[in-house]
Chain A
């Protein structure tokens, strides 16, 4: 039998829900509807008049080569970030799962980066990679590589990738470790008796059993790479040099707040919003259907 709490008064449930509803309305529904509204308007240069233009803002975007290349850049960026952050996190989690002594210390250290704000993380990496005073740049110079993310686009792109990956590893690590520890030890022992070596055990038992975790993380990581990396980009490269690190979410900001092209910026946010909604729907569908393997 399902247990239900029955409220006698009519207003109490609403009162309890109110704070969350207010927050959602003020910080999500209102801005989202504004973005939707803005995205179909064309505003004049002085912000005095605006004109209803249907989907012109959207079609203009896809004809704009800057936007299309930013789209491609974001795709590459998110695949790299998700792939690296998940791969490295899984490797670390597998190793941490085997550690017996000092395990808590390792785990704590591995989780720390997650507590660092994106802008601070960005600043950290900027210092380390600064072509003149950065320790990593210095080390690369001595290996003969002339690092300069302020001039070279690919260096800048590598920098935001590394910073974004570094920050996301902790999050993935926690989930992977929990996933690994949820696998009963006896399963791996049974597989060992069944003649599977460590590699085979990992591929045929561990990976399939953590696949729900992996899928969840994949979506989370893509969403992260698409949206939460704004702070990192802003603090390290500001989208430069020559737009080499201008990913979609940064372009929204650049076009809207710097370029003051509100209609285009709003249209871009609407596209991003659609992507998140799609990803979330896919995730919910998948999780509902395949909770466990």
Chain B
């Protein structure tokens, strides 16, 4: 077990692509840290630099307080699970798992014990003699996990290991990964572009964008206190609604307003916004925090709009509302029926309002 510490790590690929830009990140011992971001943001590159599969252009990478910039992957004491599993197709499941141990000259009976142990934990004991091609996707994925855990490394690295599984298996494997982590307690770094995976698996989530870290924190903190519009929009499904508003004082209250939007800013938030009148900002409000009110509700703290589309998901309905040019999504009770073009009033949960600087996008 070990910490991983990145200091100002950057990667420029030959050809000039700057995939990772000055990332500083501390990954505590025993944590399950998820690198989350859209495709091409540099998460795999960062993970591969930690693994030693890519050279580090600038900065330093430490594993267990040792600088590993120039250490071979084999000597970093890490194990990696690849997206395509990368099982050796010509070796049996047993040999796949034993390969790393044999290369390290582990005694035969010790290898046997460890492989059998891992096979038991992952319930792949029945397939030990099979070749990978005779396994299903889910079983291959377990073998890949097994190959990582038999080595008992300091750090586990995962690069989107679940993305080749079907939706149901993905959920099941997610839970097992979590249980496995609780059992082994090994520091894990997990790359994904799927925010649900990140939120459910990670005890810390690192949101990345274009090679930079946007925010680091526990999943709920990212959900409740996103540092900027990018994080706010990336986490949560359906994504947070945004609207450009300007502030005005009215009757001693601070009001954020735009066409058909009038929202009273609650007191603690008002203090944070500070000098306000005439200032513009981006209002953020999650679909689950928008309630659809009766048309006679308080007009001075509401968003008025016209229903465009209603999507029925079973447990809830998603109502798309056009509020003066802003398309807002609200989660609604599925038993309430809406007609297209019906005028509705949306009231936000005052505790769940977010305001962001309209130029930098940083949270106010």
- Known contacts A200-B103, A292-B133; is-contact A193 B51 (Cβ 8 Å): yes
Q: How many residues of B contact A (CB 8 A)?
A: 25
Mind listing 18 A-B residue pairs with CB under 8 Å?
A100-B14, A186-B83, A186-B86, A187-B86, A187-B88, A190-B82, A190-B86, A191-B99, A192-B73, A193-B51, A193-B73, A194-B74, A195-B74, A196-B74, A196-B103, A208-B90, A292-B89, A293-B90
Within 8 A of B (CB), among A180-222: 184, 186-187, 189-197, 200, 204-205, 208-209
CB distance from A194 to the nearest CB of B (A): 4
Instruction: Give the complex CA separation of A205 and B147 in angstroms.
Output: 16
- Complex: chain B residue closest to A187, CB-CB: B86
Within 8 A of A (CB), among B66-102: 72-74, 78-80, 82-84, 86, 88-90, 99-100
Q: Which residues of A contact B99 (CB under 8 A)?
A: 191, 194, 196, 204
Q: Which of B14, B88, B100 has the most CB of A within 10 A?
A: B88
B135 CB–A CB distance under 8 Å: no
Query: B318-333 vs A: 1/0 string, CB under 8 Å?
Result: 0000000000000000
B275 CB–A CB distance under 8 Å: no
B53 CB–A CB distance under 8 Å: yes
| Residues B90 and A209 in contact, CB atoms below 8 Å apart | yes
- Complex: chain A residue closest to B90, CB-CB: A293
B104 CB–A CB distance under 8 Å: yes
Instruction: Give the complex CA separation of A28 and B89 in angstroms.
Output: 41
Q: Which residues of A contact B14 (CB under 8 A)?
A: 100
- Known contacts A194-B100, A194-B103, A292-B89; is-contact A189 B53 (Cβ 8 Å): yes
| Residues B103 and A193 in contact, CB atoms below 8 Å apart | no
| Residues B88 and A205 in contact, CB atoms below 8 Å apart | yes
Within 8 A of A (CB), among B45-65: 51-53
Known: A184-B84, A190-B88, A193-B73. 10 other contacts (CB 8 A): A187-B88, A189-B80, A189-B82, A192-B73, A193-B53, A193-B78, A193-B79, A196-B99, A205-B88, A208-B90
Instruction: Give the complex CA separation of A205 and B83 in angstroms.
Output: 19
CB distance from B297 to the nearest CB of A (A): 57
Q: Which residues of A contact B52 (CB under 8 A)?
A: 192-193
A209 CB contact (under 8 Å) in B51, B89, B103, B133 = B89
| Residues A192 and B53 in contact, CB atoms below 8 Å apart | yes
| Residues B100 and A184 in contact, CB atoms below 8 Å apart | no
Within 8 A of B (CB), among A276-293: 292-293
- Complex: chain A residue closest to B80, CB-CB: A193
Instruction: Give the complex CA separation of A194 and B51 in angstroms.
Output: 11
Instruction: Give the complex CA separation of A227 and B86 in angstroms.
Output: 42
Instruction: Give the complex CA separation of A93 and B78 in angstroms.
Output: 31
- Complex: chain A residue closest to B131, CB-CB: A293
3 closest cross-chain pairs (CB), A and B: A194-B100, A195-B103, A293-B90
| Residues A195 and B80 in contact, CB atoms below 8 Å apart | no
| Residues A189 and B72 in contact, CB atoms below 8 Å apart | no
Query: A150-179 vs B: 1/0 string, CB under 8 Å?
Result: 000000000000000000000000000000
Instruction: Give the complex CA separation of A195 and B80 in angstroms.
Output: 12
Q: Which residues of A contact B88 (CB under 8 A)?
A: 187, 190-191, 205
- Complex: chain B residue closest to A201, CB-CB: B103
| Residues A195 and B104 in contact, CB atoms below 8 Å apart | yes
Within 8 A of A (CB), among B168-221: none
Q: Which residues of A contact B82 (CB under 8 A)?
A: 186, 189-190
